[in-house]
Structure formats: C-alpha cells, structure tokens
Amino acid sequence: MKVSTSLAMDLGAGSGRSILGRFDGERISVEEIHRFPNKPISMLNHYYWNISGLYEEIKTTLSLYSQRFDSQLGSFGIDTWGIDFCLLGKDDLILGLPYSYRDERTNGVMKNAFQKISKEDLHRLTGAHNLRGNTIFQLYSMVLDESPLLEVAKDLLFIPDLFNFLLTGKKFSEFTLATTSQLFNPLTKNWAREIFEKLDIPMIMQKIITPGTVIGEFLPEIRKEVGISSSQVIAPATHDTGSAVAAIPADGENWAFISSGTWSLLGIEVMRPIITEQALIHNFTNEGSVGGKFRFLKDINGLWLLQECKRLWNKKDKDLDFQTIIKAALSSKPFKHLIYPDHSYFLEISDNKCQDIIDFCEKTGQEKPSRIGEISRCIFESLAFRYREVLEKLKQIKPEPIEVLHIVGGGAKNQALNQFTANACGIPVVTGPTEAASIGNIVTQEIGKGHIQSIKEARRIIKKSFKMKVFYPQDFQTWAMAYKTYLKIKKRGEVIGS
C-alpha cells in the first residue's frame, strides 16, 4: 500500500507534542514535529488553560508539516487530558478561558452534590470515581455560584472537542473523553440525563462519537493559513490515556497497565464496565477504550510531584535534567523517606512541593529529606508502593491473575521508577512505547481510514514497530518488608491536614 500519513497532536497537562506517523501496511514509524510546554495560567487566585496559546501551537504544527513535507496530509487527530471543558454561547462565542481541574472552585462541592444525588446513585449511573475536579463538580460549582456563564451557555465542548470545532466547524463529543466527565452512563453509552436534572445542570452536551470517526476536513480559512490543501480530521481516543492504552503491545488477557505521566492511571481493560460496591469503596472508575471496551482504573498522583520539584530546583540550577535527578536518586539510601502520594498534601497546587514532602516526612515521624536524591528517591519508591497497593485492590475487585504490568507514557523513560515498580509489585514490568498517546492516536486514525481493521491488529503492528524493555523484580522480599513500612506511614499521614 501507499504510505499513509497521520499527524497526532497530544496535549498533556504539562506539555504538548505533535508526532507524524507513517504506516506502510506492516510497520509504523514516527517523527516528532513540534514540542512545547503547557501549564495553567494563574489569575486572581484561579487557574485556567491558555486555549488561545494551545490553538496557535496546533496551527504551528500544521504549518511546520506543510513547510517540511507536503501540502497534503492523510489525517490529523487531537488527544488531551480529560475532564476540563469550554462553554460556548450564542453565535459560538467562547465564554472565557476554561478552568483547570486543579482550580479550587470545586472545594466542598462534592458534599453539596451528594445531598442532591447520593454517591451510590451517582456510581450506579456512571461507574465513575469521585474526584473533585470532575466535570460534574465543576459544573455544579457554577450552579451553586449562579454563574452567568452557565445561564447563557449553549454548548459544552471538552478541550479536544473545542479544537476539533475550531478546525472543522463540527461539534461532537468523543466517547473516551465523555466517560471522564462523571455525566456519562456507560451502560446506555449516552449522557445520564437523570444527573443533569437532579443537579440543575443544563443539557448542553454534544452527540457522542466513537474513536476512529471522521469528523471532517479543515475549514477553508485553516487550510489557507497553515498551507495544507487537504486532510481529514479524525477523532482518536481524544482522552490521552485512552490513546496511550490503545498503544499497549499486550498479548493475552492477564495484564494491567500504568499510563505514567503527570498522573499515573493504573488499571485493566474490560469488555463491560465494573459497577460494584467494591469499585465505589475503592474509588475506581470506568473510562472508554478504543474498540468499545472500558478501562477499569484508578487515578494516582504521578510524576507531577517530580515535575514540580524539578521546577524549583531549576531556579537554582537551570541545567539540572531528569537523568541527573534519577542518578542522584539511585545513589541515595533506600526506604529512608516515604510519603503517601495521594494525600491531599500532594494533590493541590502549592508554591513548594519539595517542602510539602519534607513536612509530610517530619509529621509522620521520619527524618526530613534535604538533598535532591533523597526527595526524588522518596517520590519513586512511594509511587512504586502506591502502585502495589492499588494493584492489590484491583485484584480484590476482579480476582483474576495479573502476570505483567505495562507502563507507557513519559514515565516509561524513568528506568529507576520502572525497576522500583517491578520490585514492589513482584511482576515483570514492560515499558514502551514512550510516546504511547501519540502512537495510539495514530493507529486509531489508521483504523478510521480503514488501513487497520481492529485494535487487536493495531497492537500487533505496534509490537513489530517499536522496541520494548522488560524490568524483572529484584530483591522482592526486602521490598515487601518496606511496603509494610509504607502502609504504616500512610496510616500516620491520615491524621495530617492538607
């Protein structure tokens, strides 16, 4: 077959990148086109996303492609983080900057929402976990505040939906991202209207489409501005974790995954959503996957902790890179400092995450870490133990063997964390491909074009196309003893306020 080109725009909560995929019928090759930072804007004690800046980066990507390669592009697809949204009013007027899910406007909102609809009913209707930043609680905070924006809103578009609309003029919501909202019923595969009615949220949602759907061509003004004469815009799994999991080169059924980045999403793929009392108790969620499956998973605070510490360290040493940090971690004494990564201490935006870690260690009766290596090793070991903890809860809910753990995303490059995870969990860890979200985005575009027939076939192609690395457990008994210490420290930390 003629080589097919697919350009993937992967917008994460910390950075964005665009990757060009070329598929020759047997293998996929990739090439980076553009990379840029992405972070919330702080204004008047609120955090927003710079959508105009991100939109310009998308157009820059398209211009770079046309300048370097061709005015024709096979297809283009966008994936982003989940939950967050933009409101449109009359004549498609964009009603302000979208809030970041880390904004504090949702503090206390869950408690108010549960007075209108119980946790149990909400879980029955959505199978979703309760996180204060979820779309449902962002919208309900606007209801409680009697927001004038919500009163005049005509449409809600999640972040990738917004950019697809700006590029094509078409309004849709894609399945995998819709499932992150806690407003979607995974059994009916449509919006849970009962929730909208009980919480007085206006029904301003869009028709839901599946991954691989061709949305349309670029608008004429976009084609003229970026120099691309023709291209289809195709919806991948627009939720970046959905795209990342689509790229996992897994065999068989007995595997779990971690999509490792700003967040660590740990879970399994299932044919039907798991909506049980145990899933509710342990706050697992059901999110959409390519091919109509679901990712039954739990959100874990991830490498954002390291990113925030590095941001501070770079103020003193601008040349400090991740490899130097990892080397320092490996040179530090093991199990000297541990934290509970999902404590409220570490979930909120703060001026100094390093100090948060130091304070937590001190308040739980540990020595205070001070050096870069001590703090980074603390993060890596604590994340590895948190992964084991969640994996054990997952096995309680769905008691089937998990023989291998696949790690994809940016964290797959962190060899220290990968080895620690294998040690803590006691099973092999397979890493790669690193740019999993982009590669999953690309193969889903190829499915949409009819060049790949299924996600199963796509995973076989990915396995042939990219190298993986395997980390085998080492010194498991020592790690098992240290895990008990981690659980004790977690318990001590339960009495500490944020």
Average pLDDT over residues 278-293: 95
What tokens appear for 33 in the block?
């086109």
One fold for both 4-240 and 250-432+468-498? yes
pLDDT for the residue numbered 347 = 81
Nearest to 86, CA basis, from 100, 75, 73: 100
Average pLDDT over residues 11-26: 95
Relative to beta strand 429-431, strand 263-270 is unpaired
Contact of 299 with 188, CB cutoff 8 Å: no
Contact of 61 with 7, CB cutoff 8 Å: yes
Nearest to 237, CA basis, from 191, 171, 287: 287
- The residue with greater pLDDT, 172 or 409, is 172
Q: C-alpha angle 492/256/445, rounded to 5°?
A: 125
Kindly list the domain boundaries of the chain, sorted by start residue.
4-240, 250-432+468-498
Check pLDDT > 90 for residue 495.
no
pLDDT for the residue numbered 346 = 85
Residues serving a catalytic function are 240
Check pLDDT > 70 for residue 273.
yes
Tell me the pLDDT tens digit for each residue of 37-53. 998 999 999 999 999 99
Using omega within 30 degrees of 0 as the cis cutoff, is the peptide bond preceding 273 cis?
A: no
Check pLDDT > 90 for residue 104.
yes
Average pLDDT over residues 81-107: 96
pLDDT band, residue 345 (cuts 50/70/90): confident
Check pLDDT > 80 for residue 65.
yes
Tell me the pLDDT tens digit for each residue of 406-432. 999 889 999 999 999 999 999 999 999
pLDDT band, residue 261 (cuts 50/70/90): confident
The correct CATH number of 4-240 out of 3.60.40.10, 3.30.365.10, 3.10.20.740, 3.30.420.40 is 3.30.420.40
Contact of 14 with 7, CB cutoff 8 Å: no
The whole-chain average pLDDT of the chain stands at 95
HEC states along the chain? CCCEEEEEEEECCCEEEEEEEEECCCCEEEEEEEEEECCCEEECCEEECCHHHHHHHHHHHHHHHHHHCCCEEEEEEEEECCCCEEEECHHHCECCCCECCCCHHHCCHHHHHCCCCCHHHHHHHHCCCCCCCCHHHHHHHHHHCCCHHHHHCCEEEEHHHHHHHHHHCCCCEEHHHHCCCCCEECCCCEECHHHHHHHCCCCCCCCEECCCCEEEECCHHHHHHHCCCEEEEECCCCEHHHHHHHCCCCCCCCEEEEEECCEEEEEEEECCCCCCHHHHHCCCEEEECCCCCEEEEEEEECCHHHHHHHHHHHHHCCCCCHHHHHHHHHCCCCCCCCCCCCCHHHHCCCCCHHHHHHHHHHHCCCCCCCCHHHHHHHHHHHHHHHHHHHHHHHHHHCCCCCCEEEEECHHHHCHHHHHHHHHHHCCCEEECCCCHHHHHHHHHHHHHCCCCCCHHHHHHHHHHHCCCEEECCCCHHHHHHHHHHHHHHHHHHCCCCC
Tell me the pLDDT tens digit for each residue of 433-471. 889 999 999 999 999 999 999 999 999 999 999 999 999
pLDDT for the residue numbered 348 = 78
pLDDT for the residue numbered 497 = 65
pLDDT for the residue numbered 458 = 97
pLDDT for the residue numbered 128 = 97
Tell me the pLDDT tens digit for each residue of 298-343. 999 999 999 999 999 999 999 999 999 999 999 999 999 999 999 9
Nearest to 405, CA basis, from 434, 380, 426: 426
The residues with which 256 forms a beta bridge, in sequence order, are 405
The hierarchical CATH code for the domain 250-432+468-498 is 3.30.420.40
Check pLDDT > 70 for residue 498.
no
Check pLDDT > 90 for residue 368.
yes
Average pLDDT over residues 258-285: 94
Tell me the pLDDT tens digit for each residue of 183-239. 999 999 999 999 999 999 999 999 999 999 999 999 999 999 999 998 999 999 999
pLDDT for the residue numbered 255 = 97
pLDDT for the residue numbered 4 = 97
CA distance 106 to 23: 44
pLDDT for the residue numbered 205 = 98
pLDDT > 70: what percent of the chain? 100
